[in-house]
A and B are shown apart, each in its own frame.
Chain A
Amino acid sequence: MISNKLSQNIYSQLINGKAINKQLYISKTNELEGNSLYNEIFNNFDEYSILYQRISFELVHKNSCFFYIRELGGEDAEVPLTTIKIQALLIIIGRIITEQGYLFDVLTDHRAGVKSEDLAVATSEERYLDILHTCKLCLKRGIEEEINNNLVARGLMFVNSRGHYVLTEAGASFYNELTEVQ
């Protein structure tokens, strides 16, 4: 049975392009907890799927760890600017971390994470800046603002109690897929 309260909250997040992750970070305890919104969709997936289908969206369940909605019949529409921005940002963040010999786990451990200063190299080095500009990123804003707007606001990253950026399950699953494709 769909809960009115939760479904309203779910709608509010999904319609604004936010992924709903299996786990939710609680800054007070600095721990991850099960996400009631994810459980609500998971338990009533068929009903939610039909509900969103009726308003021309596809409810996508990826890697068994997060949900998001994609517009049905949107293939022929304009260039998917948002998704390109997200992908470019994730690739560049991953590259900055691995290139400097750091362990990738820092990005996925909710107690660790990276400071925005650690990622400042993205805007100070031309090789990264070229790509970011081509993807319409960091033209007027700094990397921190771009991460907040494109990754944090969409549930792909969160800021932990230390003020560090950490990948959510949705963000981390992008890298998992990259590795699996390899």
Chain B
Amino acid sequence: MHIALDRTLVLLIEHKDLMFSFIDYMDQNQRKDIPEQVFTNSMIAKLTGIVKRNDAERLKDAFDRDNLIKSGIISEFNKSRGTIAFQPAVIEIFRLFDKERVKGLRSAELENIRVQLDNTLQQHQGLSFSIDNIAFLEQRDHLFDLLRQVNSQIQNNTEHLEHEADRLSKRLDHDQAILTLGESQQVREVLLQVKQIYDREIIPTLEFLNTREYSKVKAPLLLIDEISRLYDIRGFEDDSYYIDQYKLSILSHYKAVEKVRQTLQRYLHQERQHRLTYNAIEKAYLNLQALAKSTFTENLKERFIFKLLAESELYFKGLKTYSSAQDSKIEWHERNHKLYFDEYLIEQNARQRSESVAKVVSFDNKQNPDPNNVLKRQIRTLIEQCDIKPPMDDLYAEIHNYLVDNLAEHYQLQYLLYGVSCYKQRVKKTAKLTVCFERPQQKICYKNKVLEYNKRELN
């Protein structure tokens, strides 16, 4: 069943998503046609999604491959390659429905326009300008067609670039931070797209629209200028005026494209920064890898990179190595710590000769118990048996005198602290101990040692 072109087109427009999917496939794969399989699969998917039976039947007939060929929507069906190509004009119509799918002009297309304009100029230069000259009239028609086409293409291109800049900016300027590697990968891809559009579409367009820059080949707008001048000289002022109007119309897009360029500049800088970081890391990595390889010997123990990596290349050169022994332990208190001073035992003249007479001692193999423990036990017993009772003016002095009397030559000043501690234990429930902070502190000197302490009164 054959359905007319207009009705088929209307149905296609009503179901734009189908054509959009074909356009997307072609753009993504940079092709001008689609495989027959893709066409069939998309068609089946579309038809199965339609609930009403009548509608489905209608679409099935309209979107039938043979019907599309007959109506001229499919311009080429290559059986051997299994590909389908749509009429370019139809594709262009659908691109216009969605700005995102409008194709920008790239270097090759812009160059093609320039060549066409150059050819037109050459053709005009060899013509005699007369309304009776059919060749001239044909060339004039062709020129205006071309100017109209260029103007429309540049306009579409500008809209496409503005839309792309807007789309990419929105994707890059979202408020959410990049929190995952996946998100970062997407942002990086968008940045690459920015770079691609900038290099392949924006810069060529700006060059195309630039009338000032000197180049070996004539700029397109200068070519239009020359054609306009030809018409003017040969007495076709009206045509010359219209040509100038076209030129101005084309040129008016320069500002818009320049604005797009400035919008994308920021992201381009960001992309450049990433590229530089990437290159720098890559270079450092390759250098490190080369050093690691060059240290390779059969003896694995010798495989160290150390001597090869120049110290000047080390960023944290001389960084202090970790040392657990160097933890600082001193605590500084904001209050006067002197008030909390307990006792200081000072060694006096440590090198002074012992006053006692040298005695001959003999060694035996038996292990002696720690003399300090024996002495401590003795001190504890002595303190328990002593009859020192409160009140007393200076506990330290009392205990010291008592221990000197009872321990004789075994006594040393450091044992006084133990003695005091034992005595405190003994009387803690019955007596009250008061510390007196006096300057200078109390002192006891005994056998080259001095004990400085705060007096304790016992009541």
Contacts and interface: CB of A to CB of B under 8 A. Distances in A.
A102 B328 contact: no
B279 interface: yes
B188 A57 contact: no
Contact of B305 (A60, A135, A178, A179): A135
Interface residues of A, number: 64
Interface in A35-87: 57-58, 60, 68-71, 74-75, 79-84, 86-87
B316 A15 contact: no
Interface string B302-338: 0111110101011111111111101110101000000
A120 to B, nearest CB: 13
Given A91-B288, A102-B181, A103-B178, A8 B281 contact: no
A1 B285 CA distance: 45
Interface string B270-287: 000110111111111100
Contacts of B307: 79
B184 interface: yes
A12 B320 CA distance: 12
Secondary structure at the B interface, as helix, strand, loop or mixed, is: helix
Interface string B281-302: 1111100110111010000000
B177 to A, nearest CB: 5
A157 to B, nearest CB: 13
Contact of A105 (B184, B276, B285, B292): B184
Given A8-B332, A112-B179, A178-B281, A86 B288 contact: no
Contacts of B313: 87
B288 A12 contact: no
B328 A175 contact: no
A17 B278 contact: no
Contacts of B288: 88, 91-92, 131
B149 interface: no
B439 to A, nearest CB: 24
B19 interface: no
Nearest to A12: B328
Given A95-B281, A178-B284, A182-B280, A68 B319 contact: yes
A83 B278 CA distance: 22
Which one of B189, B280, B283 has the greatest number of beta carbons of chain A within 10 Å?
B280
B332 A174 contact: no
A5 B181 CA distance: 41
B184 A102 contact: yes
A76 B283 CA distance: 28
Given A87-B314, A91-B288, A105-B178, A17 B328 contact: no
Which one of B284, B304, B306 has the greatest number of beta carbons of chain A within 10 Å?
B284
Contacts of B282: 95, 98
Interface of A: 4-5, 8, 11-12, 14-17, 19, 57-58, 60, 68-71, 74-75, 79-84, 86-88, 91-92, 94-95, 97-98, 100-106, 109, 111-112, 114, 118, 127, 130-131, 133-136, 153-154, 156, 173-175, 177-179, 181-182
Closest 5 CB pairs of A and B: A70-B318, A103-B184, A79-B306, A178-B280, A17-B320
